[in-house]
Chain A
């Protein structure tokens, strides 16, 4: 089981990293989302894996899983939505303003700027 979770984290990280290194905004945003999943699961894993012992207190149960990583990851998930939304908005604004969704400065743009400045 641990192998499955760890490898899933690894695979999601690898996919996320690859997509983050792409040249257009949309794949980069998806890459960041994939990385977010990986990070969240990784943090969640810091409470170790427990099956069938949710941290809901019951009278006849004594073993529970670690609730703290869950609480932290819960807010992380919500915040990551806010972050994704902001990044998407920035990417969208840039695209609408210039009809270009590259994440890198384009060489001809840089030349134009340099010409304008001189």
Chain B
């Protein structure tokens, strides 16, 4: 796919008031496809969020905790040896990592979990539920619930509980109840459905901390706004580091929260290329992948219209990825919108590509990225040869890989 960075997009379409519009839509995507029971709660949540952002005491409290509890701002780190690795005789791009892996709990997920927990407290909700795939969002939610003394139930597919046993134990250690989900494929999709069913049942006492930029409006906006701190910091740090905007942003995309958090403050800066990397699993030519944007079609899942992996009859298909966090047949509606506009580009890399990248980054930079994050790194193989000297790339190093060492060892044939 050729670079589309020079094609000017209508500014109105990229303006914040179009993402989402007053109906909770991003172009044709988004909306609220949920049981009526939840509609008043979604309206309440949207109102609470709008009021909270206007309230200095809320914003101050959030910022204070992001700093003292989460450890923000995270550094923008110049990956010199990775840069060197991709340097050609005629030069090459410079690679920077936005170190979200250094956040408390080891991934970007806590930005949103913390923000939503503060919102839940504001709304007087005492019980929190969440879904989790890799367990990072579950751990982040369990963490903030412990911090605020909130009851916490995390829905997790049984298959993912096996793959991410360490995170299951972490959540339990933090006092959360981890509820196994055995329906369907027993992965993130089914855990999300089950969390929504819990919310339908307990909506009056419970807040649902959805972990991605997916779900019914206002979640895609709400989750993005809590993660936008990633992009806002990166923008400032780029100016400090090299005096201008970056040229390329790269992030992995499952539901798309870390990517949206990085992209958001740059969406209207059309000189900045934005690249999302999906999980191609065993290959997009096979039926075992999770490349929703590159391979999916328009549909409705978990309350939003977006691109979706589905069969000829509109039944949602199983997704497959070595990374539990990307193993999702849907994607956030704003990504589908940015794709349609041509504002962001989306590609996919296989399990094997991600495994190779994980080892490369570990050995060159002394940073073990999460398997999810490794997908973003893997795209450098394709991208770097096309970029000229002086190009500044920012990769969202969205999570650390400690949780994945067992999976990686198994896949490369090492018995621990």
Tell me if chain B binds chain A: no
